[in-house]
Structure 1
Amino acid sequence: MALTTSTPIPTSLPLLDTDVLRTFVAIAEHGSFTRAAEQVYRTPAALSMQIKRLEETLGQSLFVRETRKVRLTPEGEVLLSFGRRLLKLNEEAVAQFLTPPVEGTVRFGMPDDIGTRILPGILAQFARTHPAVQVDVVVGRSVEMQARIDRDELDLVLVSEGSDGLEPGRGDLVHSEPLVWAGREGGIAVQRSPLPVALASHGCAWRAMALTALDRANIPYRIAYTSENCTGQEAAMIADLAIAPFPLSLIRPPLRRLDQTTDLPPLGHSRIALIRREGAGPASEALAGYVVDAFRRD
């Protein structure tokens, strides 16, 4: 006897387009269609159409659109995790076949405040695509990094522009962001007079900018804490012993930005330059590309 029922033939699920995923991740990371459009070299309208098609494909809303920014829905947060992993896996697969094998050692130097911001992500990603390259990392003051690359002891260095002893305009500018006053949330250090400040050692660009700004504003101050690195400044602020000049991106609770609610003077911008040693080789150039990309996403 012939069967009268039929079993539904399963249909294949739609595939996520890598280009659309890259757009989605860029919007999620920047919180803005406009800023993401600059990164992927398309118009905001084109990005909006891509996201609309992606939402239709998945049957879910991915973004909540607000006046000045967009934020992820719960479904968008889930897709962001998948999207980042898929893009990394795609990059690794393509690199396996198209990237010429690169071997050797790259000697990479930077100040600690820069390293804590981008180094873990760069090293992890670079190790996946260039497993035969060893990266030796050195942390120190900007002027020391420049001196060591001049002695051929390092291949790549990141430096804070404006630090004492640096050659002006040397290297490629890879990042710029506001340098602002920071202190502990609810702290009283900012109310004291003379104003207690935590600074890096002599020669630091942040130190010079802060002292110049305070002098011009005729604000009495005392240097309450000096440290070779920004971790020490952060500790002084968390203990509410002092306030400090800090790049905006490094401010995390329990710290907060102070200059928007006080009369503290503006500080300008913190700028980071990348200096390459001439003739350092393909491994060094490959890592330099990852450094530049990391700051573009930052």
Structure 2
Amino acid sequence: MNQTAQPDPVPQPLPLLETDVLRTFVAIAECGSFTRAARQVFRTPSALSMQIKRLEETLGQPLFLREPRLVRLTAEGEALLGYARRLLKLNEEAVTQFLAPPLAGTVRFGTPDDVGTRVLPGVLARFARSHPAAQVNVSVGGTLDIIRRLDLDELDLALVTGGNDGQDQGRGEVVDTESLVWAGREGGIAARRTPLPLALASQGCAWRTKALAALDAAGVGYRVAYSSENCAGQEAAMIADLAVAPFPLSLIRPPLRRLGPDTGLPPLGDYQVLLVRNPKRSPVADALAEYVIEELRLARGG
């Protein structure tokens, strides 16, 4: 007997995540409290609780651990947080594309190579999608040169490292904090040489100032073996095992490694990245500045 073939079941569409609920979820995650988040999004804590309950039911996963006076993300909640932030940002870009007045013009942007390497790819890609009529001219150089060019009205916007011989005193806003550590070649011997050979950035750089001050305070003998306008020069000297260098933790990659306390080198602490705006800048420069701030926040998982 022939049996009639049953049609394949129609797959059910996946549920869509509502922007409003994602905004609530991000607010709670960042505030660590339903009550504080409720004030931020202008709703009651009970309304937020209902939204999160529906979201957890939709995804079939608990997103928060509720403790006395504290709300913490579960592992699933941490995974969702990254998606939620990107979805909200993409939604903002899409709405801006159609509703916001188009921005046009040129932004002259200056940055040291260590910061630019981390920030520029993501910033330029997203900024170009949202503001296709705008043009960004990027200048990469030392912090002191970038500050000088900003003062000469040759730049509209600049990222600089804080503590550069006082020339950035009271200027700009702190947009990132980075750990400065000692670095050298994996398995190398430069750190054991006496006096200690250093690969440093040019005079006036915050890294150089912090490193020399720390070595002097610790009584460690050293010699400046190599100087470079950019961190690529320092990196080359370290890879060749000719010197060690103060270096941002986020930029250390094989064959380089972080040098530990066993080397006898003093800790260097953190340094700050400042965003400085030209008072004569255009609205398109301010728009780019917001993308820079957001990219740095995402890069540090904030």
TM-score of the superposition, structure 1-length normalised?
A: 0.77
**Greater Cα offset, 111-120 or 165-174:** 165-174
Compared CA separation, residues 96 and 225, structure 1 to 2 (3 A): same
Counterpart amino acid of 2:290? G
**Is residue 101 from structure 1 mapped to residue 99 from structure 2 by the alignment?**
no
Counterparts of 1:69-218 in structure 2, within 5 Å, are 86-87=87-88, 89-164=90-165, 166-218=167-219
Match of 1:291 in 2: 292
Q: 1:48-85: per-residue Cα shift (whole Å, max 9, x none)?
A: 9988865653457999xxxxx99978xx98x8997677
What is the distance in 1 between the residues matched to 2:50 and 2:176? 30
Instruction: Report the secondary structure of 2:263's partner residue.
Output: coil
Superposed CA deviations along residues 212-262 of structure 1, whole A, max 9, x for unmatched, are 111111111122221110011112222222111012222223322213443
Letter aligned with residue 296 of structure 2: F
Q: Is residue 192–residue 263 contact of structure 2 (8 Å, CA) maintained in 1?
A: no
> Which residue does the alignment assign to 1:245?
246
Match of 1:57 in 2: 58
Matches within 5 A, 1:25-44: 37=31, 42=37
AA aligned opposite 2:93: E
Structure-1 separation of matches of 2:284 and 2:215? 44
Whole-angstrom CA distance in 2 between matches of 1:19 and 1:207:
47
Deviation at 1:119, TM superposition (A): 1.0
Counterpart residue number, 1:268? 269
Given residue 209 of structure 2, which amino acid in structure 1 is its aligned partner?
A
Contact 1:198-1:244 at 8 Å conserved across structures: yes
Please give the per-residue CA displacement for 1:13-63, whole angstroms capped at 9, x wherever unaligned. 311234666799x8xxxxxx97x557xx859xx999988865653457999
Matched-pair contact (CA < 8 Å) for 1:199–1:245: yes
C-alpha contact (below 8 Å) 1:259/1:266 kept by paired residues: no
After TM superposition, the structure 1 stretch with the greater mean CA deviation from structure 2, 82-91 or 187-196, is 82-91
- Cα distance in 2, alignment partners of residues 112 and 254 from structure 1: 20
Distance in 1, matches of 2:73 and 2:243, equals: 35
SS at match of 2:280: coil
1:17 counterpart = 2:18: yes
- Cα distance, 1:127 vs structure 2: 0.6
The residue identity in structure 1 corresponding to 2:147 is Q
Shift of 1:116: 0.8
TM-fit CA distance, 1:91: 3.0
Identity across the alignment (%): 62
Deviates more, 1:245-254 or 1:200-209: 245-254
Alpha-carbon shift at residue 206 of structure 1 (Å): 0.6
CA contact (8 A) 1:143 1:165 kept: no
**Do the aligned partners of 1:190 and 1:242 also contact (CA within 8 Å) in 2?**
yes
TM-score, scaled to structure 2: 0.76
Shift of 1:86: 4.5
Unaligned runs of 5+ in 2: 39-45, 65-71
Q: Is the 8 A contact 1:259 1:265 kept in 2?
A: no
Q: 1:159 to 1:218 in 2, by over 3 A?
A: same
How far did residue 211 of structure 1 move? 0.9
Mapped partners of 2:82, 2:172: distance in 1:
35
Contact 1:142 1:166 in 2 (8 A): no
- For structure 1, the 5+ residue unaligned runs are 27-32, 64-68
Query: How many residue pairs were aligned?
Result: 278
Distance 2:74 2:194 in 1: 41
Show the counterpart of 1:257.
258
Q: Which piece of structure 1 moves more, 88-97 or 54-63?
A: 54-63
Q: SS at the partner of 1:101?
A: coil
Deviation at 1:155, TM superposition (A): 0.5
Task: String of CA shifts for 1:146-195, please: whole Å, max 9, x gaps.
Answer: 12122211111111111136141211111122211112222222122211
Amino acid at match of 2:291: Y
Cα gap change, 1:55 to 1:255, in 2 (>3 Å):
farther
Cross-structure match for 1:279: 280
CA distance in 2, matches of 1:147, 1:183: 32
| Structure 1 pair 287–12 and aligned structure 2 pair: CA distance change class (3 A) | same
CA distance in 1, matches of 2:178, 2:111: 17
